[in-house]
Amino acid sequence: MMKEQVQKPRALVIGGSLGGLFAANSLMQAGWAVDIFERSPSTLDSRGGGIVLQPQVVAAINHAGLDSTDPLGVLSRERVYLDRDGAVLQSAVQPQTQTSWNTLYRRLVRGIPDARYHKGKRLVSYTQTGATVVAKFADGTTEKGDLLVGADGGDSTVRGLLMPEMAPTYSGYVVWRGLVPEADVSPETARALSGKFVFQHDPASLMLQYLVPGEDGSARPGQRRFNWLWYLRAEKGTELDAILTDRDGNARRRSIPPGMLAEEQEQRFRCFAEHRVNPAFRELVQKTREIFVQSIVDLAVPQMVFGRVILLGDAAFIPRPHTAGSTAKAAENALALGAALTARPDDIDAALSRWERDQLISGRLMSDWGVRMGNRLMGITT
């Protein structure tokens, strides 16, 4: 007698960055058929830099069977606080591994068959009837599934359709960022910074650096990059608007990518760095070819499950970067989703409800902690 073929449930994952890749890998492990729909027509490419490698990220990679002998990041052994002259104020042994967005992206995308990752597919709307969701894309095509996962980031279209009133709010400060190839820095600076997580904290200003793998993912000495970040206050209104206007005069919503800073803003920032930071950090800024900037925002949704439509990653919570938790949270959301659906394959709605309860608690905790820490570090009183 022929065995009856059971059809796998199908998930439509909207967004093909880290959140979408974690979700897709985890759902596949849970026995789902998965397709990713990413609005960008080309392969995503890191506009950013470093990410602290958290255990949830390693767990998600291992769970998807994507572990390998290639290192995922660069180890720093100690945390060091410098003053403006470069003198060590404090140091402590605290091993931590740092990676980069492109290293994680490259590893996670290996788990997804090419035919299941659809580029140039921008979700514009969806309809939900009972346990079926139909996604509609800007090119006029539609796709049907049992679950739609909104992993489409801080400006999520899915969240906008569900809760148009919910949007990220500006925190009062921005982060200026850059990457410098290890080979470009002087031996004195390499000695001061290599293998360390280094900070300079002044009133309303926090600068830090750590090494991350090279653009090609190599963690070999000499091929890595110094990743620096400098958090500085910027008043909402004229000051912030000027920072977020690119070199072609276009107002950007939240960030200016590498190479697009307005010349006047770049000169102002470089001049400021000459007078405000220690010699090693000063050299990093001087040697950065393309500085970029992002505004720091907060977002915490009250609900993550809406029938068969769910939100995860930055679409649901944007914790302050000091928590080093955005990517870890996306990984945790995805791992827990797979586990909940594996535990209750017969009742998807019950599994989602259980998942939401736990994820809302951890998202809220991380978000509140990040706001308190960020405001304290930047001297913001509310």
Ligand X SMILES: Cc1cc2nc3c(=O)[nH]c(=O)nc-3n(C[C@H](O)[C@H](O)[C@H](O)COP(=O)(O)OP(=O)(O)OC[C@H]3O[C@@H](n4cnc5c(N)ncnc54)[C@H](O)[C@@H]3O)c2cc1C
Phi, psi of 119 (to 5 degrees): -90, 160
Could you tell me which residues come within 8 angstroms of residue 264 by beta carbon, excluding any fewer than 6 positions away?
242
Fill in the amino acid letter for 3.
K
**What's 252's DSSP letter?**
P
Give the nearest distance from C-beta 227 to ligand X in angstroms: 8
Q: Given the complex with ligand X, which of 182 and 314 has the nearer CB atom?
A: 314
Determine which helix (DSSP H) or strand (DSSP E) holds 81, and give its type and residue range.
strand 74-82
Shorter beta-carbon distance to ligand X: residue 18 or 192: 18
Shortest CB 156 distance to ligand X, Å: 6
Task: Name the residue nearer to ligand X (CB basis): 192 or 214.
Answer: 214
Compute the least distance from the CB of residue 289 to ligand X, in Å. 16
Closest distance of CB 16 from ligand X, Å: 5
Whichever of 101 and 226 has its CB closer to ligand X, that residue is 101
User: At closest approach, how far in Å is the CB of 12 from ligand X?
Assistant: 10
Instruction: From residue 143, give the alpha-carbon distance in Å to each of 35, 150, 277, 365.
Output: 10, 14, 52, 35
| Closest distance of CB 3 from ligand X, Å | 37
Bridge partners, 251 (sequence order): 245
Answer positive or negative: Cα dihedral of 53, 55, 57, 63.
positive
Smaller CB separation from ligand X, 130 or 302: 302
Angle, helices 326-343/55-63, rounded to nearest 10 degrees: 40
Question: For residue 320, what are its two tokens?
Answer: 């302050």
Cα separation of 331 and 311, whole Å?
13
266 secondary structure, DSSP code: H
Residue 23 or 341: which CB sits closer to ligand X? 23
Q: Provide the minimum distance between the beta carbon of 303 and ligand X in the complex, in angstroms, as a whole number.
A: 17
Residue among 49 and 111 whose Cβ is closer to ligand X = 49
Q: How far apart are CA 52 and CA 69, in angstroms?
A: 19
Helices (H) and strands (E) in the chain, counts: 10, 19
In angstroms, give the least distance from the CB of 158 to ligand X.
7
Amino acid found at 145 = G
Whether the CA torsion 59, 64, 67, 73 is positive or negative: it is negative
**Which residues have a Cβ under 8 Å from the Cβ of 235 and sit 6 or more positions away?**
172
Least distance (Å) between residue 269 CB and ligand X: 19
Nearer to ligand X, 192 or 315 (CB): 315
Between residues 185 and 229, which has the closer beta carbon with respect to ligand X? 229
Binding site for ligand X (CB under 6 A): 14-20, 37-40, 44, 46-49, 51, 101, 122-123, 151-154, 157, 313-315, 326-327, 330
Give residues with Cβ within 8 angstroms of 224, minimum separation 6.
Answer: 74, 182, 211, 212, 213, 214, 218
CB of residue 374 vs ligand X: minimum separation in angstroms? 15
Considering Cα of 295, then 300, then 303, then 308, what sign does the dihedral take?
A: positive
Q: Is 192 or 306 the residue whose CB approaches ligand X more closely?
A: 306
Reference 290, options 215, 204, 199, 195; nearest CA is 215
- For residue 378 the two structure tokens come to 């930047």
> CA 30, CA 10: separation in Å to the nearest integer?
11
